[in-house]
Chains A and B, each alone.
Chain A
Amino acid sequence: MEPMGCLAPSELSVKDLPWQIHWSKDKCTLCGHCTAVCPVRAIELGVHRKRALTVPLNLGEKPGNLFSVFHGIDQRTDPAHACVGCGMCTLVCPNGAIIPVHTDEIDKLRFHVNVNGEARRRGGRRNSSDSLLDKIKFVRISMLTDPALDAGRHEFELRTLLGRVLPPEEMLRVSRENGWMPPVREIYPLIIGGMSFGALSPSMWEGLQLGVSYLNEEMNMPVRISTGEGGCPPRLLKSRFLQYVILQIASGYFGWDEIIHNLPLMKEDPCAIEIKYGQGAKPGDGGLLMWYKVNKLIAAIRGVPQGINLPSPPTHQTKYSIEEAVAKMIQSMSMAWGFRVPVYPKISATSTAMAVLNNLTRNPYAAGLAIDGEDGGTGAAYHVSMNSMGHPIASNLRDAYLTLVKIGKQNELPLLAGGGFGKNGNLAANAAALIMLGASGVQTGKYIMQAAAGCLGSESDRCNICNIGLCPKGITSQDPRLDRRLDPEKVAQRLVDVFLSFDTELKKIVAPLGRSTSLPIGMSDALGIADADAAKRLNINYVL
């Protein structure tokens, strides 16, 4: 409280914050672990004076005060130091003496995180745990003339194609005439979506690459990972592991100097080139790497000075229109690798996606389309972009697939879907639903961060401080003191766990549907939902 009894409008109490720290004086031994670990310094050692009234039993003595001092935890209330609920304090406390608790009503902090007129920026995802994909069930169980398959015993072909697939007539003609056949990759349908070197810490990146290589070379699973916009370490560019990598180029072209310089030194072609036009979490907005994270290494790889904000423009500035941009970029990227590498754009889900799609169907070099829904995650964006902008993935993907079906190109232009599947942990079920709605493959980043690295973020706005380089798990920081909390080998191990269990679950879904010879892309007769409007919109079964 200010002198003269004045209150500043943004003066908050602990009660006004989204997270309140519950601390037990009885259990606390004042070891200081929690205050040391807290990424936002939300808690500090507090010295408290305590007054106890002493009332003697004999009348001879007068009642008096006994003053004592005790030490404990204080929670700070200014917006910059408001607890983000990450729970690291709980994790490190040896005595179970401290835990953040979510407030019982809408917090007041949200009205004040715009000091100096700066709108809130954060990492994470849309704050909504609602998921249409979770409501989709698989209702067509095969049991009569086709007894269900045994997920553990039968063989399953669960791979997908990435690349422009020629229609059969065309394929036969081109092969007869010895013409150019567009490159097509056979890959695992679960793809690790674009998270840049820079947004992610070196340990996290290394761990993911390690895990991907292991899955490919030891487990025979052709898993692919997108780099996101930020380039690729030169050693990886020159290694054989590049074939497992999808290089992303976005409007800032960060890291592409390095990639182009290394082109002649590459031993393998990358899996594909992804041209990012939009991201589901913040559609219409460019990438953002905040200055906290631009250290020497990141600056070198991206070819920029250290310690500055790195925003990418919302669009590819060098081009006049999206159609032109798409056509020219696809053409030049294809040319750079001698037309041996599939090149496809990634856009955010939007009601205008069909225009882009139609355009691509007429472009013989377009190798697919990735659509990223509103529930996708990001390392840094404006809160309003994340929460309110964008289009859900299910209906956008479905429209795109049915548009392709109408013109007979559903096999020619693979659709990749991402953004929010697995948000409540149901990765395989959500992925299978997207595939049966028409996706050839699915891309996820957030789930991988949560499952393979222990990211604490959630749809209740927990943690989500990925943008400021203070990630308490060392996943999205560039501070070596934080990075070392993450052991790359353990990340790799967890990544393998994730893919193996995903594979089992996917089989557990397709086996009872009687599907094993090919990925059930567009098998919408298997899907049902207890919501008549959603069923009608998605053209799937309405079940009650």
Chain B
Amino acid sequence: MCRLFAVTSNEPLSPMVAIRALDVMKEGHDGSGVGLFLTDLGGEFENFKQQPILSGIFSSEGIKALDRFMMDLDFMVKYKLSFRPTRPTPVGTPKRDNYVIRVYEYPADWEELSPAEIQFRLMMVQLQLRQIGEKDKSMLIFSFWPDCIMIKEVGDPLTVAGYLGLDRKELAARTILSQGRQNTNYAIDIYACHPFFLQGIATMTNGENTAFVPIRQFLMSRNFPGYIGYQSDSEVFTHILHYMHSKLGLGVEMYKHIITPLKDAELLRHPDGAWLKQLKQSCRPLIIDGPNCVIGCLPDKSLFMVQDSKKLRPGVVGGKPGVFAFSSEMCGLDAAIPERYINLDYQPMKYETVLIRKERQEIEKWNQWDALRHLN
């Protein structure tokens, strides 16, 4: 089973905080991959909050193609952080030419565009680059979005972090999602590595979702170009959240109601049962069949955790005002925030959603049995 760790803190943290927590939980992952999502950035990136950041891995040819492509679109590089590892490649990690994190200046003619149009175009640029890279394996693109960085690689998290030098001071973030991967079902593919990202939304998951194929079919038939990929059955969690958030305009408290709706008999007893039943019917193809623990980050930088409704995966949240962490194992949490009030540690159960807002003051809890605010 994969190990998950996420942290959100008022003070920017080095990604090494997450990497070390993953290392403590090492028994649970087999070094088949590590993935990092950094947002609400600190360090050097504090100066570029609005500009889109491209994260990916490029061959030397890929870099040239990238430059040509971005230049044609009139994107100018404003700042870049490239790692070209000089140390020998760790066992199991492929040799790469360039790990790229680049901040771009928007093209001049994008200035007039609406935020929605900009967001759509950013996604399309990411998808086009990914497509170009897929042909000759010259590019692997993880994200292209303001205030977001993603790093993914095959190998043991601590070794890869050392190899890439992730402890550099330029790299810091207030919100970090990380996964140490245990590859169980599918071939090792870096695009299968969590967290997954789409238009400011990122999630990572533990466990297996056996309803994957019909969910994928449903998402792919929504006519939205971003719903592609699916090298991992967990990518649908990101896209369901995205669909709910940006297509249906529903808040995160509805996520559970969509992926793990209450049973028919339970809905009869819910204050908003009639409405929820209709929602359940309309969203029937999005019902997951876990066990899964999902940790995600919303565009407003709040972090949340939910469980499936039948066989929970481990997942705990704890911390103190200013800093909170989500971890698939208690030891990960202990390693990251040893000086917290452990009495307030919380393990969400089958009906719950826990959320830490950007202010990082408290653990907010929702229960599926609660009356729905937006209806009442």
Chain A residues, CB < 8 A from B281: 161, 165, 171, 184
Q: Scoring B residues 191 to 216 as 1 if CB is less than 8 Å from chain A, else 0, what string do you get? A: 00000000000000011101111100
**B284-320 interface with A by 8 A CB criterion:** 284-285, 287-291, 308-311
Bound-state CA distance A170–B222 (Å) is: 13
> Which B residue sits closest to A412, measured CB to CB?
B282
* Contact assessment for B247 and A411 in the assembled complex, using a CB-CB cutoff below 8 Å: no
Chain B residues, CB < 8 A from A186: 264
On whether A524 and B221 interact (CB within 8 A), knowing A154-B310, A411-B284, the answer reads no
Chain B residues, CB < 8 A from A407: 221
On whether A518 and B278 interact (CB within 8 A), knowing A146-B210, A157-B264, the answer reads no
Q: Is B184 an interface residue (CB 8 A)?
A: yes
A271 CB to closest chain B CB, in angstroms? Answer: 16
On whether A517 and B289 interact (CB within 8 A), knowing A408-B221, A411-B282, A523-B213, the answer reads yes
| Cβ-neighbour of B208 out of A144, A169, A405 (below 8 A) | A144
Q: Is A234 an interface residue (CB 8 A)?
A: no
Q: Is A410 an interface residue (CB 8 A)?
A: yes
* Contact assessment for B218 and A410 in the assembled complex, using a CB-CB cutoff below 8 Å: yes
Chain A residues, CB < 8 A from B211: 515, 517-518, 520, 523
Bound-state CA distance A521–B286 (Å) is: 12
Chain A residues, CB < 8 A from B213: 522-525
* Contact assessment for B248 and A522 in the assembled complex, using a CB-CB cutoff below 8 Å: no
Bound-state CA distance A126–B282 (Å) is: 38
| Cβ-neighbour of A513 out of B185, B210, B249 (below 8 A) | B210
B276 CB to closest chain A CB, in angstroms? Answer: 11
Q: Scoring A residues 119 to 161 as 1 if CB is less than 8 Å from chain B, else 0, what string do you get? A: 0000000000000000000001010111101000011010101
Most buried by A among B218, B263, B289, B308: B289
**B233-269 interface with A by 8 A CB criterion:** 243, 247-250, 260, 263-264
Chain B residues, CB < 8 A from A308: none
Bound-state CA distance A149–B289 (Å) is: 11
Q: Is A58 an interface residue (CB 8 A)?
A: no
Q: Is B71 an interface residue (CB 8 A)?
A: no
Q: Scoring A residues 404 to 428 as 1 if CB is less than 8 Å from chain B, else 0, what string do you get? A: 0111101100000000000000000
Q: Scoring A residues 166 to 186 as 1 if CB is less than 8 Å from chain B, else 0, what string do you get? A: 111111100100000100101
Bound-state CA distance A405–B222 (Å) is: 10
* Contact assessment for B207 and A517 in the assembled complex, using a CB-CB cutoff below 8 Å: no
On whether A145 and B1 interact (CB within 8 A), knowing A175-B278, A520-B214, A522-B213, the answer reads yes
* Contact assessment for B263 and A145 in the assembled complex, using a CB-CB cutoff below 8 Å: no
A513 CB to closest chain B CB, in angstroms? Answer: 6
Chain A residues, CB < 8 A from B218: 408, 410-411
* Contact assessment for B291 and A517 in the assembled complex, using a CB-CB cutoff below 8 Å: no
Bound-state CA distance A172–B249 (Å) is: 10
A97 CB to closest chain B CB, in angstroms? Answer: 56
Chain A residues, CB < 8 A from B223: 408
| Cβ-neighbour of B289 out of A169, A408, A411, A518 (below 8 A) | A518
Q: Is B17 an interface residue (CB 8 A)?
A: no
Bound-state CA distance A523–B310 (Å) is: 19
Bound-state CA distance A184–B282 (Å) is: 10
* Contact assessment for B208 and A525 in the assembled complex, using a CB-CB cutoff below 8 Å: no
* Contact assessment for A145 and B275 in the assembled complex, using a CB-CB cutoff below 8 Å: no
> Which B residue sits closest to A401, measured CB to CB?
B217
* Contact assessment for B208 and A145 in the assembled complex, using a CB-CB cutoff below 8 Å: yes
Chain B residues, CB < 8 A from A184: 281
Bound-state CA distance A155–B288 (Å) is: 15
Q: Is B125 an interface residue (CB 8 A)?
A: no
Bound-state CA distance A276–B191 (Å) is: 49
Bound-state CA distance A514–B264 (Å) is: 20
Most buried by A among B250, B275, B282, B283: B282
A294 CB to closest chain B CB, in angstroms? Answer: 42
On whether A167 and B282 interact (CB within 8 A), knowing A146-B207, A408-B221, A522-B214, the answer reads yes
Q: Is A516 an interface residue (CB 8 A)?
A: yes
Bound-state CA distance A524–B212 (Å) is: 10
**A13-72 interface with B by 8 A CB criterion:** none
> Which B residue sits closest to A161, measured CB to CB?
B281
Bound-state CA distance A268–B289 (Å) is: 35
A326 CB to closest chain B CB, in angstroms? Answer: 23
B307 CB to closest chain A CB, in angstroms? Answer: 13
> Which A residue sits closest to B209, measured CB to CB?
A146
* Contact assessment for B285 and A410 in the assembled complex, using a CB-CB cutoff below 8 Å: yes
> Which B residue sits closest to A522, measured CB to CB?
B214
On whether A514 and B284 interact (CB within 8 A), knowing A144-B184, A410-B217, the answer reads no
Chain A: residues with Cβ within 8 Å of the partner, total of 42
A470 CB to closest chain B CB, in angstroms? Answer: 45
Chain A residues, CB < 8 A from B263: 155, 157
**A68-88 interface with B by 8 A CB criterion:** none
Q: Is B331 an interface residue (CB 8 A)?
A: no
Chain A residues, CB < 8 A from B309: 517
* Contact assessment for A517 and B282 in the assembled complex, using a CB-CB cutoff below 8 Å: no
Chain A residues, CB < 8 A from B222: 408
> Which B residue sits closest to A402, measured CB to CB?
B217
Most buried by B among A155, A168, A171, A407: A168
Q: Is B81 an interface residue (CB 8 A)?
A: no
* Contact assessment for B207 and A171 in the assembled complex, using a CB-CB cutoff below 8 Å: no
Q: Is B118 an interface residue (CB 8 A)?
A: no
Q: Is B279 an interface residue (CB 8 A)?
A: yes
A160 CB to closest chain B CB, in angstroms? Answer: 9
Q: Scoring A residues 330 to 350 as 1 if CB is less than 8 Å from chain B, else 0, what string do you get? A: 000000000000000000000
Chain A residues, CB < 8 A from B291: 145-146
Q: Scoring A residues 258 to 285 as 1 if CB is less than 8 Å from chain B, else 0, what string do you get? A: 0000000000000000000000000000
Most buried by B among A154, A166, A410, A513: A410
Chain A residues, CB < 8 A from B310: 149, 154-155, 516-517
A309 CB to closest chain B CB, in angstroms? Answer: 44
A274 CB to closest chain B CB, in angstroms? Answer: 20
* Contact assessment for B278 and A142 in the assembled complex, using a CB-CB cutoff below 8 Å: no
Most buried by A among B213, B214, B218, B223: B214
Chain A residues, CB < 8 A from B221: 405-408, 410
Chain B residues, CB < 8 A from A166: 278, 282
Bound-state CA distance A172–B257 (Å) is: 14
A175 CB to closest chain B CB, in angstroms? Answer: 6
* Contact assessment for B289 and A172 in the assembled complex, using a CB-CB cutoff below 8 Å: no
* Contact assessment for A145 and B185 in the assembled complex, using a CB-CB cutoff below 8 Å: yes
> Which B residue sits closest to A440, measured CB to CB?
B284
B167 CB to closest chain A CB, in angstroms? Answer: 31
B262 CB to closest chain A CB, in angstroms? Answer: 10
> Which B residue sits closest to A140, measured CB to CB?
B210
* Contact assessment for B214 and A517 in the assembled complex, using a CB-CB cutoff below 8 Å: no
Chain A residues, CB < 8 A from B206: 145
Bound-state CA distance A408–B218 (Å) is: 7
Chain B residues, CB < 8 A from A149: 310
| Cβ-neighbour of A142 out of B210, B217, B243, B288 (below 8 A) | B210
Chain B residues, CB < 8 A from A523: 210-211, 213-214
Most buried by A among B222, B250, B285: B285
On whether A168 and B264 interact (CB within 8 A), knowing A408-B223, A410-B221, A517-B310, the answer reads no
Chain A residues, CB < 8 A from B311: 146-147
Q: List 16 A-B contacts (CB under 8 A).
A: A144-B184, A145-B1, A147-B311, A155-B310, A161-B281, A165-B281, A165-B282, A171-B278, A410-B285, A411-B218, A513-B210, A517-B308, A520-B214, A520-B289, A521-B214, A522-B285
Other 20 A-B pairs with CB < 8 A, given A514-B210, A518-B211, A525-B213: A142-B210, A144-B184, A145-B291, A146-B208, A146-B210, A146-B291, A154-B310, A161-B284, A166-B282, A167-B282, A171-B281, A172-B249, A172-B250, A175-B278, A181-B278, A405-B217, A408-B218, A515-B289, A517-B288, A518-B287
Sorted nearest first, the 9 A-B pairs with minimum C-beta distance are A408-B221, A514-B210, A145-B208, A146-B208, A171-B282, A518-B287, A522-B214, A525-B213, A168-B282
